[in-house]
Structure 1
Amino acid sequence: MNNFFSEWGSTLITGLSATLAMTIVTLIITVIIGIPLGILLVETNVSGMYPNKTFHAILETIINVLRSLPFIILLFLILPITQIIAGTTIGIRGVILPLVVYCAPYLARLVESSLLDVDPGIIEAYQSMGIKNSKIIFSILLREARAGLTRALTISTIGLIGATAMAGLVGAGGLGDIAYQYGFQRYQPDIMYASILVLIAVVQLVQSFGNWLAKKLAK
């Protein structure tokens, strides 16, 4: 065991750092895009505060199309766009855009589901008091849905961690890249299994923290 950590310890730490960097940066951008998209899905629907059938249909179609694409296909499909925007298609910088495009629609759907779980009577009560719809959305609706939104972020983060593992195929680094490069291509199963165990540990920590926070916010 000591020999293993002396040989591979720094490699695992570097891979974990790259995975966390990809996850954190992508998650921040995904939240900035995904939550507003989820709000738009709810509020532009026929029963929303700003119904717009055409806009809602277009937005829903785009989100459905993006969600239907497996990440590995999406990764290679938008390579030309990634090259234009990021200036590269390799490394962490080259994989952020595909990760965002993959995760933002997924988060938007989860946000939509969380917002729809809010009791419509609460919204109607505030509307009857003459409060502006925009204020209801950001001050009331999001607050009432905070536990569900926390669960949505937890699920999205775990899905994102899984996607970063596949990002190793384009040299993005991270634990997935280590498992692939050493475990698969060089037939070194010990480092592959170690990378997988670290990924499992990270996912468990994220899930446990998300569950704890959601319970706190639900009270």
Structure 2
Amino acid sequence: MEHYFPYASQMVSDFTQATQETVLMTVSAMIIAGAIGLVIGILLLLTGSRGLSPNAPVYWVLDQIVNIGRSVPFIILLAVIMPFTRLIVGTSIGTTAVTVPIVVGTIPFFARQVQNALLEVDSGVVEAAQAMGLGNLAIVVRVYLKEGLISLVRSVNFTIINLIGLTAMAGVVGGGGLGAVALQEGYQRGRTDVTVMSMILILIFVFITQVIGNAVLKLIAHGRA
């Protein structure tokens, strides 16, 4: 270990803290962005031309917000919303501060994922629910969310992996986490082994996320069998 990772082997505590920060940023951002993105995704579904309550103006506004939000490069978003970040958390540096732009950048991404996942639900099932007299809210909960659960879990898994990448990029502005270690302690100081170790830990994090996601999907599929 010391032979191949001479500097990284001396930074166990730094890597431990950075890993904890990465997990904290990923989980907290997923919870917040997931809740908001789910609502926006459902609204996009309902107000679309094929939705339960078509509303062209509302859909157009939401659709444009999502499209613009997904189009802005994250590194630019970090700088653009710094004033908003300071307003929310009082600073633009650190793990907590960087979580704000991560959430902002993830909301439109996840909202579109939710919309696409729920659009996969069989329209025949939806029409049957309407024929039974169920209201829109009941159809969303009992039909769309239930029937589209597997697709939603895939979307969550995909979004978490994307979030891990955003937390690594946040190291550019001193956001903490493994990305900051790779950049500040590895790249800038010419310590290649530190950068490689950071990459390995991030890949392990991604692998664990995929394993958990696949396990959840198998449980859902088994429960429906």
Task: Find the aligned partners of 1:41 and 1:151 in 2 and give their Cα distance.
Answer: 19
**More moved, 156-165 vs 87-96:** 87-96
Task: Find the aligned partners of 1:46 and 1:205 in 2 and give their Cα distance.
Answer: 39
Match of 2:74 in 1: 71
Task: Find the aligned partners of 2:121 and 2:217 in 1 and give their Cα distance.
Answer: 15
SS of alignment partner, residue 21 of structure 2: helix
Match of 2:65 in 1: 62
Gaps of 5+ in 2: none
Please list the CA deviations of residues 84-126 of structure 1 after superposition, one character each: whole Å capped at 9, or x if unmatched: 1221100012111100111111011111111000001101101
Displaced runs of 4+ in structure 1, greater than 6 A? none
User: Alpha-carbon deviation of 1:80?
Assistant: 1.1
**More moved, 71-80 vs 207-216:** 207-216
Of residues 4, 12, 24, the one that matches 2:15 is 12
Match of 2:97 in 1: 94
Match of 1:181 in 2: 184
Match of 1:159 in 2: 162
Match of 2:34 in 1: 31
1:183–1:190 contact (8 Å) kept in structure 2: yes
Match of 2:43 in 1: 40
Task: Find the aligned partners of 1:109 and 1:131 in 2 and give their Cα distance.
Answer: 25
Paired residues in the alignment total: 219
Please list the CA deviations of residues 25-45 of structure 1 after superposition, one character each: whole Å capped at 9, or x if unmatched: 111101110111110111101
Please list the CA deviations of residues 153-173 of structure 1 after superposition, one character each: whole Å capped at 9, or x if unmatched: 000000000000011111111
SS of alignment partner, residue 51 of structure 2: coil
Match of 2:25 in 1: 22
SS of alignment partner, residue 213 of structure 2: helix
Match of 1:126 in 2: 129
Query: TM-score, normalization: structure 1?
Result: 0.96
Task: Find the aligned partners of 2:40 and 2:92 in 1 and give their Cα distance.
Answer: 26
Matched residues, percent identical? 41
Task: Find the aligned partners of 2:209 and 2:9 in 1 and give their Cα distance.
Answer: 27
Please list the CA deviations of residues 107-150 of structure 1 after superposition, one character each: whole Å capped at 9, or x if unmatched: 11111111000001101101101111111101221011110000
SS of alignment partner, residue 172 of structure 1: coil
Q: Does 1:137 align with 2:143?
A: no
User: Alpha-carbon deviation of 1:6?
Assistant: 5.1
Q: Does 1:208 align with 2:214?
A: no
Gaps of 5+ in 1: none
Task: Find the aligned partners of 1:113 and 1:61 in 2 and give their Cα distance.
Answer: 16
Task: Find the aligned partners of 2:37 and 2:124 in 1 and give their Cα distance.
Answer: 25
